[in-house]
Structure 1
Amino acid sequence: MEKNRYKSKSELVFEEIWERVTHGILKPGDRFSAQEIAEELGVSRTPVNEAMKRMSEYGLIRILPNVGYQVNVLRWRDIEDIMRIECLLETEGLRLNKNGFDSALIQELKDINRRTIEALERKDRQAYYRLTDEFHVRFIHLSGSRILQDVFVKNRHYAGWDDGKILEMTESLKELLRDHDAALDLLLEGRLDEAIENLKIHSEQSIQLVHQSLKNSKYPGI
């Protein structure tokens, strides 16, 4: 299978709306119709409806018969579970690697992390979210397990669920991003257990920061 395989219109619509929902462009409670999305993206309503059915299965949107669609409000417990599952997959994934960690991939991850910090500093919301997704999807490749990579990407469909206010916490986010570099350096030095412990602490701090951000913005799921 080619690395950059052909994507159907339904898949492209799914990715576009998923990004809008999880990145706060479409907010919890917002309503929209298949016709609106179809006209905006230049496709028919069929791939839009197919994509929305898939999104409803993930719990990201609700289908409103004869009306359209509504962005769901995730409960805080759901958001917390998503973040904890992601940490579990990443840390246990590291233990699955029996052949040593690819130094080139680690350097690639460090470069992505650097560009993420730069995007944060210039307040480029779109680039920040895109690079954050890219980092975590690439990070799971350190496991060397294709099965785990597939499971991780499915869980990642729920990730990034916030209203964008978290980007106002620039310094706190930069500290969390520096944790990535610290963990990667530990992997390069062969200190796996320390890297995993670092990532677990990082996850707890990330959860606290997201909770505070959503609470400050009066997110309805809190």
Structure 2
Amino acid sequence: MQATVIAEMRRRIIKGDVEPGAALSEAALAEEFGVSRTPVREALKQLQTEGLVEIRPRVGTFVTIPSRREITELFEMKELLEGAAARLLAQRGRVPEIDELERNLREADEAVRRDDRERYAELVLEFHDLLLTGSDNSKLQAHYRVLMNQLAYARLVNTSLSRPGRPLQSDREHHLVLQLILEKDADSAERVMREHVRASRQALLSALPLAGPPGG
């Protein structure tokens, strides 16, 4: 049951169903999940090690509010990992993930045309996930999953895409990355992917308030 609590609370935080800074009540969660406080307490400890919650002794447990510095540092690591993934995928040739990426971009083009930011945000998450899967490197993927959880990335994507013109620019950057992968230009694919992640970080940070929780 503890694993169920961990998985569900992780999902809620990452998806943004629970706001950054929100207090988490052990008693309320225990009642909701129909368990004692012990598995809830252990679940929250696990989520703290993942960087998703902060346990303050004698105060309470709260959803982590990442600082601008933490976001910058995590995006620097994201840039390295996704750049490596683009390089590895470019070296693999025509694998099934390529077909999926092409389908993803067709749908993304349509979402941008309709100005459907919610759908485009979903496709952004899928694009990056397909890229990592296509790298065919389980260690790289494992580190990436932990990083994405710490970023609560799904929530931040929506904030980044709130910048005027960012969805269209992001879509163009994805097309260029895939083009270079198809050309098997591993060096350029890595460079352009890293530039794309950097641009996303800049859009995100410019959309965040200067003070207060960087949610969105």
TM-score normalised by structure 2 residue count: 0.78
SS, match of residue 63 in structure 1: strand
Specify the alignment match of 1:3 in structure 2.
Answer: none
1:197 aligns with 2:191: yes
Match of residue 210, structure 1, among 181, 196, 204: 204
Match in the other structure for 2:53: 61
Counterpart in 1 of 2:170?
Answer: 176
- Residues 164 and 139 of structure 1, relative CA distance in 2, 3 Å threshold: closer
Task: For 1:166 and 1:202, locate their aligned partners in 2 and report how far apart those are by CA, in whole Å.
Answer: 12
- Residue ranges of structure 2 left out of the alignment (5+ in a row): none
| Contact 1:14–1:52 (CA under 8 A) maintained in structure 2 | yes
% of aligned pairs identical? 27
SS at match of 2:20: coil
Q: How many residues align?
A: 210
**In structure 1, C-alpha distance between the alignment counterparts of 2:88 and 2:49, rounded to whole Å:** 30
* Partner residue, 1:154: 146
Is the partner of 2:92 in helix, strand or coil?
Answer: coil
Which residue number in structure 2 is paired with residue 51 of structure 1?
A: 43
Q: CA deviation at 1:150?
A: 1.3
How many angstroms does 1:116 deviate by?
5.2
Question: CA separation of 1:164/1:91 partners in 2, compared to 1, >3 Å: closer, same or farther?
Answer: closer
Deviation at 1:61, TM superposition (A): 0.9
Contact 1:23 1:164 in 2 (8 A): no
C-alpha deviation, 1:58, in angstroms? 2.0
Q: Secondary structure at the match of 2:21?
A: coil
Report the AA paired with residue 145 of structure 1.
N
Gaps of 5+ in 1: 1-8
1:29 to 2:21 alignment? yes
Over residues 135-181 of structure 1, what are the superposed CA-to-partner deviations in whole Å (9 max), with x where a residue is unaligned? Answer: 32321122221121111112121232549544433631231133112
Provide the C-alpha distance between the structure 1 equivalents of 2:4 and 2:103, rounded to a whole number of angstroms. 27
Alignment CA distance shift 1:96-1:110 (3 Å): closer
When the two chains are superposed, the root-mean-square deviation of aligned CA atoms in Å is 3.1
The residue that corresponds to 2:63 in the other structure is 71
The amino acid across from 1:189 in the alignment is: E
Q: Secondary structure at the match of 1:152?
A: helix
Does the alignment pair 1:121 with 2:115?
yes
Give 1:128 shift: 5.3
